[in-house]
A and B are shown apart, each in its own frame.
Chain A
């Protein structure tokens, strides 16, 4: 198991190196000179060169790559072209919203999906199964921003249980902060929960038709015992895969929901940075997201191995 984790860790490091090179090169080839963009059309060649020097845009490709990576390793992501503040601070601010929001939404999604999927699978073909399938079908089909607006209408404007948007800030305490993240988290979680519940159900149904379930029943286990003791853990592998993908998506893909609720999260930051051609911010946030995705995949791989002993021997 330790050896397996070590091998995964090595491949994690390699993926990060490859990803950083690709991101760096991609940003390099994007047309448009940030210095020219910032100084406008009338800037002289000398001022442009001075600004490029200041922004770390001069030097050879390799030098710039190494100084970028070196900076990141020291926690220095450079300075934003447009805001003139350190990128690391900007990201840290946004991270305190996006990360809790993603975890909150994923927790909700899992809490809804597991019972719903298990319930539907254990009562296959019954009214319970049909209604879970119907509701999840709706959940997948309805766009989450529409659902978000509906919730704002009902819970913020009519019932006044929640505020319609904005973030209270962690300084105000955990409860107000969590409260302002609740509607966005629900809006994000519902489509994810619908997908996850359907995956859980079909994976569980596949597992329930396996030979070893029949063996378990022949031992004297009830249907319920066979499901909980033998089917569930075996059915988890595809479910874990989806959870991993969903977490990566929730971290950065929440941009529309962030806009609906006026949350200054990572998604909005990337969007603004791209519009303003603030390449250093784009580069850093994308690298950070890639890092998050790779780390989540690593965690999912470790979880696979924890669930299935057959995977521990392979590397």
Chain B
């Protein structure tokens, strides 16, 4: 008998159908990858198993976990199962832990809730669980607080909490989506090891086919609340019976068509840039200490070129972006756009500032929700000395929206009326409206589903060809950088450690760090070769 069996599961939330006849099974010791884009119902499937659904949810069908009928169990029995027979790990490690309790107390709580043991014994077993999740006592005593840990370390604490009682099933909902590639690889390795050691079943939910490709035994592909394809991993990759599976696979490794353009004139020049941050003083009159976020970085981008900047969180790439945009002054070195400095004296140079624009990762957080799209897109006009008004302004807004594939009429809507991909198009329209030469794309496609990502990448390639745009493409996602850039730089601890033509750097990386990054990135099997 299967460990987890879901049969014909329907889920309505406030009368809206979220899941339609979902069926899947997980055997002990088996890893089942559940793949789908946002809104496909993959997380809701997991919450149905846990019976931690939002108010107004109605389940029909059968969910059997280790012989228990989850849909008909009363709440107290469900509480006894959660954390004990089934553990769960979530996407956002930064917020998944209680910020004001020590990690020891939080892991021990799983044990104290379910077993009648002393606090000391629970703490000892919490220590053991953390040890199993590779958080050694010397560096991570039980008395640590979550804010003292990095994202990957916090995710290990969440996993330790979930596996402390050695549950039969672990549900991991996008456990690595918020993490860097190398951290992602370590967390996936840890999950696989725990499955092997405990013979536990693992339901691994992700939007990224590549994450599960070399790890899952079975794959379930979901779309619009339904399972469209399921089977052993090798067979699914081989056959790809459903067109959606094929579309997902292709979008994942999508290569936008890009034209070569002559590049000899430098547009952006960055020379020996240093950016220091003052650290909080350790004693009242201690000398001021500094953290060097960017250390002597130099590079150039030619007109019409697309340059990638790759590195993990904390490597200094965001600091460098802010310095290029003239948002923060640098302590040494200079940044020139077409020969003009970004900073004149202690003030940002507005003449330079209006020639570059930025698109950020979070398409919702970077818009004022109370403005309509028209004024949002027209916002960069404040950088111009005499911005267009009246009909000219409306025409510019319409042109910008149309150039990113939206309708001119969309300017009367609010941002919440658009999907994630459309919002990112609006962000690009906003960047385009003052006809900049350089666009900085700061993790601009990282939060998007693969198929949307593919469309946006196509759009960027098309816009670059049409308007002769230059891109600085910043990302932690190597596969994206690979498809859209001519040259790539790898940044580590504030320094550029490797630089070269994209294909060359990816095929024959020189620096050890680059090699680690490339090895850590999950890859899809070649079509038909798996």
Interface residues of A (CB under 8 A from B): 7, 210-212, 214-222, 225, 229-230, 233-234, 307-310, 313-315
Contact = CB atoms under 8 A, between A and B. Distances in A.
Contacts of B251: none
Contacts of B284: 7
Nearest to B145: A309
Contacts of A218: 50, 52, 82-83, 87-88, 90, 162
Q: What are the 6 tightest A-B residue pairs by CB atom distance, in nearest-first order?
A: A220-B83, A219-B83, A211-B95, A218-B88, A220-B82, A212-B98
Contacts of B97: 212, 215
18 contacts: A210-B95, A211-B92, A212-B99, A214-B96, A216-B109, A218-B83, A218-B90, A219-B109, A219-B161, A221-B79, A221-B83, A221-B109, A221-B113, A309-B99, A310-B99, A310-B100, A310-B145, A313-B280
Contacts of B50: 218
A229 B109 contact: yes
A109 B284 CA distance: 39
A104 to B, nearest CB: 31
B84 interface: yes
A211 B79 contact: no
Contacts of B80: 220
Main secondary structure of the interface of A (DSSP, over half): helix
Contacts of A310: 99-100, 145, 147
A50 B5 CA distance: 98
A210 B94 CA distance: 11
Contacts of B161: 215, 219
B113 A215 contact: no
A6 to B, nearest CB: 8
B53 to A, nearest CB: 11
Given A307-B100, A315-B280, 19 more contacts: A214-B90, A215-B96, A215-B98, A215-B161, A217-B82, A218-B87, A219-B82, A219-B161, A220-B79, A220-B81, A220-B82, A220-B110, A221-B83, A230-B101, A234-B98, A308-B99, A310-B99, A310-B100, A313-B280
Contacts of A220: 79-84, 110, 113-114
B158 interface: yes
| Residue of B96, B99, B100 with highest tally of chain A CB at under 10 A | B100
Contact of B100 (A217, A219, A234): A234
B260 interface: no
A216 B97 CA distance: 9
A308 to B, nearest CB: 5
B113 A234 contact: no
B100 A308 contact: yes
A57 to B, nearest CB: 40
Nearest to B111: A219
Given A211-B95, A212-B97, A309-B100, A222 B110 contact: no
Nearest to A6: B284
A222 B75 contact: yes
B104 to A, nearest CB: 13
Interface in B76-127: 76, 79-84, 87-88, 90, 92, 95-101, 109-110, 113-114
A93 B82 CA distance: 61
Interface of B: 50, 52, 75-76, 79-84, 87-88, 90, 92, 95-101, 109-110, 113-114, 145, 147, 158, 161-162, 280, 284
| Residue of A220, A233, A314 with highest tally of chain B CB at under 10 A | A220
A214 B147 CA distance: 18
Contact of A215 (B81, B84, B114, B158): B158
B488 to A, nearest CB: 34
B98 A216 contact: yes
Contacts of A221: 79, 83, 109, 113
B96 A212 contact: yes
A310 B101 CA distance: 10
B109 A211 contact: no
A231 to B, nearest CB: 9
B236 to A, nearest CB: 29
Given A215-B158, A218-B162, A230 B82 contact: no
Contacts of A7: 284
Nearest to A221: B113
B95 A212 contact: yes
Nearest to B283: A3
Contacts of A211: 90, 92, 95-96
A309 B96 contact: no
B47 to A, nearest CB: 9
| Residue of B52, B79, B162 with highest tally of chain A CB at under 10 A | B79
B433 to A, nearest CB: 36
Contacts of B88: 215, 218
Contacts of B113: 219-221, 225
Contact of B52 (A210, A214, A234, A308): A214
A219 B95 contact: no
B73 to A, nearest CB: 13
Contacts of B84: 220
A309 B169 CA distance: 33
A219 B81 CA distance: 9
A230 B99 contact: no
A302 to B, nearest CB: 15
A250 to B, nearest CB: 28
A218 B162 CA distance: 8
Contacts of B82: 217-220
Nearest to A7: B284
Contacts of A210: 95
Contacts of A233: 100
Contacts of B96: 211-212, 214-215
B100 A222 contact: no
A209 to B, nearest CB: 10
Nearest to A213: B98
Nearest to B52: A217
A234 B81 CA distance: 26
A308 B161 CA distance: 21
B90 A219 contact: no
A306 to B, nearest CB: 10
Contact of B99 (A214, A219, A234): A234
Nearest to A210: B95
Contacts of A215: 88, 90, 96-98, 158, 161
Contact of A314 (B76, B87, B145, B280): B280
